[in-house]
Chain A
Amino acid sequence: MLGSGFNFFSIGLDILSIFPTGSRTFIFDQIFSVFLYLGTLVGVVVIAYMVIQAYRYREGSNLDSSEEDRPKLGELPPHSTDGKKLIKSLLLSAVVVIALVVWTYGSLLYVEQTPTQVEDSLTVGVEAYQFGFIFTYPDGHTSTGVLRAPENKVVILHITSRDVLHNFGSADLRMKADAVPGQISETWFIAESTGTYQAACYELCGAGHSYMNAEIIIMEDSEFELWNATKTNG
């Protein structure tokens, strides 16, 4: 299902196939779950280690060694010699973090390059204003607050703002971009099933910010074609 929409366009990133590619929802969910799994693991291990060691070396425990050289009032810090373990741990954590982020970089390239590489797409202009969104279709038709698009098709958005800095994003479709006055930001999404998705402004823009929403209605291809043909008449 996921790959089906993508067989017909070349993304030129075959070499990066170990990185998640596909819809933005798919990419996000893949990467997020790996991060979440590893992050939880690292967090639990590190915090458990801390708590256990702090308990083991509490004052009065049987590990309490009185021979240890303790800090004294008025001393200057002596030269520390125990840096090796520290550097080893640092290198280990660096490898994990860098590997993770490099792994996601391929997906970033894919997300960035998709709009220029797909052959069959729908481009819609989004103009944000206090407090709503206007969508402009390729034929010049405009609608306020509702964006209609066909399923399984890359929808490219050209986002700008009429007044202040806004943001157009949809958590459902894992898509988001700033709406900067005087500038066009480009982003894209692909919806794999029909239905109504929520979109909202993600940048504080004034008193009506909390209600600056829009709907993205995803229709079957034929249904969309029908709507597309009739809207210009009406």
Chain B
Amino acid sequence: MKETYQTDGGHSDGHGLPPMYSIKRWLVTTNHKDIGILYIITSLFFLVMGGVLALLIRLQLWLPRDPGEGILSAFAYNQSVTAHGLIMVFWFLSPFAFGFANYIVPLQIGARDLAFPRLNALSYWLYLISGILLGVSFFQGGTFNGGWTVYAPLNLPTFTPQIGATSAVLALFIFSVAITAGSVNFLTTIHRMRAKGMTLLNMPLFTWTILLTVWMMLFAFASLLAALMILSSDRILGTTYFSGTGTQGSLLWTHLFWFFGHPEVYIVFFPALGAMAEIFQTFTGRRIVGRKWFIAALVLVTIQSFAVWMHHMFLTGINLEVKTIFMITTIGISLPFDLMVFSLIYTLLKGKIQFTTPFLFAFGGLILFIIGGITGVFLGAVVLDYEFRGTYWVVAHFHYVMVGGVTGLIAGIYYWYPKITGKMYDEFIGKISFILYFIGFNLLYFPLFIAWETPRRVFTYHPSLIPWHQIATIGAFILALSFAIMLYNFYKSLFDGEDAPDSPWKYASTLEWSLPSPPPLENWEGTPTYENGFLEFLPEKKIKTDGGETIHEK
């Protein structure tokens, strides 16, 4: 990092990096803000890709179909549901959240960059390569078509012989490597590079959720990576770990997958929760009620998340004792979430609430999450779970939770847009996009609760359910329209938006809002510190005489 101090002046475009309008800049950059932007834009491309697949699925479900009817063949339909799940969970949700994490977390804790900027760039490029490989896999005889859970032995070449299926597995493999490298980077940064006086408990809630997310990633993705290594070996080298004839293979996969898969639910949801908490605080003008408890609840969920995975396997023939244990842990993990929801709701009281677009999305996201949470309790009762498993009840429930999380992240993108671009988004178009989003979302997912008897991942269903599926399809297009309007807003505002002040929000409290919008390449002159209980920037001179970064002083 020494060379960053050798160039003088021109903080906004110096340090040998080409200017922002040059393509080369984006290829060579290791700056956390640049990489944050790369993550956000790339993940939005995958959102569109996963979204188009979702629209195809919804069109196919307009009517119950016979083989060969509708716009998708049976094979294409299975590819669509699989790739839609994989893209949304892996290539959109987490990278979208980590776009913000890259940009915002170092600013919030007073670090000049992530601990390992080059490793950070590597994570991004591996992510992009893995995503491109997944896109290519569609043209290699078809991509993987056995569901996003990649259950064994359907994941073996015997049953999914397409080269594209192998590519998809390799893409997941590369993605997991990228995530693991990224989690190590964030762990080091957040634990070692905070400004003085910024203790763990003092950290902003968004940074808290990112810290816990990367801890979960570290352990959860280890399990997925192991499973994918074995699977790649089976698919490429011809080993038979997940062989189709024994019970061991399929159950081994389900354990390895869900040991990853359940924490993954919180991995994608936590950053949204953190963003929602900050947005609630900023736009209600009230500090989060029971902040300590909120953090304690987050930590508790992080630990408990590794003890609930077998509730995805209640029908695999596990014995009653194990079912009982996992029923208890599952109910247990819902309670910290109750606390966090109450905390957000009570923050509204005595507030001075400004209904800006980010607040509307955060508020709407909380409503959707509450509905997702209540319908999740149904699944926690094992007797009900027996019947709901494999049906649209599960589909509707996790879309309310996961896309509820997306809602929180969209709140985040509106919230930080002025900081990142230096321009204000159009508030009126923003509100229109929220209204369409909220209507579209509920039209899309709520009827699926009513039509819950539809089996998952099929396009034949009972004709009595046709109206509900048609409402859902209409809702899907309204939701898609709201995304188009949002993207238009961001694109248009980039050129003719008003210039954003340092903090456009009256009650923003975290460090990033004390910087210019957008912050200069080096974030700030001098050294941020909270040593005296509030934010100060020590003069730059001090750094120069010390001859290095302030972290070394610790």
A residues in contact (CB < 8 Å) with B: 27-28, 31-32, 35, 39, 42-43, 46-47, 49-50, 53-54, 57-59, 63-65, 68, 70-80, 82-83, 85-87, 89-90, 93-94, 97-98, 100-101, 104-105, 107-109, 111-112, 130, 163-165, 167, 169, 171, 174-178, 180-186, 198, 200-211, 213
Contacts and interface: CB of A to CB of B under 8 A. Distances in A.
Contacts of A49: 345
Contact of B248 (A94, A97, A182, A185): A182
Instruction: Determine which residue in A78, A111, A181 has the highest number of CB atoms from chain B within 10 A of its CB, and name it.
Output: A181
13 contacts: A57-B353, A76-B530, A86-B342, A86-B346, A87-B339, A101-B377, A109-B320, A167-B389, A169-B390, A182-B245, A204-B78, A204-B81, A211-B67
Interface stretch (B6-14, B43-51, B277-285): B277-285
B75 to A, nearest CB: 5
B550 interface: no
Instruction: Determine which residue in B250, B363, B366 has the highest number of CB atoms from chain A within 10 A of its CB, and name it.
Output: B250
Contacts of A111: 383, 386
A207 B282 CA distance: 50
Given A76-B533, A104-B382, A50 B387 contact: no
Contact of B293 (A32, A58, A83, A181): A83
- How many chain B residues sit at the interface, stated as a range, is 35 or more
Given A58-B355, A165-B152, 10 more contacts: A32-B378, A63-B350, A68-B350, A74-B534, A74-B536, A80-B289, A105-B324, A108-B382, A169-B455, A210-B74
B289 A202 contact: no
B146 A75 contact: no
Contacts of A43: 370-371, 374
Contact of B503 (A53, A73, A97): A73
Contacts of A185: 315-317
B345 A73 contact: no
Interface string B284-296: 1111111111000
A70 B152 contact: no
B25 interface: no
Interface stretch (B266-274, B301-309, B504-512): B504-512
Nearest to A32: B384
Contact of A71 (B249, B509, B534): B509
B159 A164 contact: yes
Contacts of A206: 78, 145-146, 154, 159
Contact of B458 (A89, A104, A181, A210): A210
B377 A35 contact: yes
B349 interface: yes
A50 B281 CA distance: 15
A176 B315 contact: yes
Contacts of A50: 345, 348, 363, 366-367
Contact of B383 (A31, A47, A167): A31
A101 to B, nearest CB: 5
Given A42-B374, A111-B383, A164-B154, A171 B331 contact: no
A97 B370 CA distance: 14
A68 B345 CA distance: 18
A198 B453 CA distance: 11
A208 B249 CA distance: 22
A17 B447 CA distance: 35
Contact of B352 (A47, A59, A76, A82): A59
B363 to A, nearest CB: 6
Contact of A200 (B346, B380, B458): B458
Contacts of A83: 289-290, 292-293
B342 A90 contact: yes
A108 B387 CA distance: 12
Given A71-B509, A80-B291, A171-B387, A85 B346 contact: yes
A201 B152 CA distance: 16
A165 B151 contact: yes
A98 B380 CA distance: 10
Interface string B314-356: 0111001001100100010011001101110110111111110
Contacts of B346: 82, 85-86, 89
A181 B335 CA distance: 36
A86 B337 CA distance: 12
B513 interface: yes
A59 B353 contact: yes
B237 to A, nearest CB: 21
A184 to B, nearest CB: 8
A178 to B, nearest CB: 4
A74 B17 CA distance: 30
Contacts of B74: 207-211
A73 B391 contact: no
Contact of B391 (A27, A202, A208): A202
Contacts of B412: none
Instruction: Determine which residue in A163, A184, A210 has the highest number of CB atoms from chain B within 10 A of its CB, and name it.
Output: A210
Contacts of A200: 455, 458
A46 to B, nearest CB: 6
B252 to A, nearest CB: 11
A164 B384 contact: no
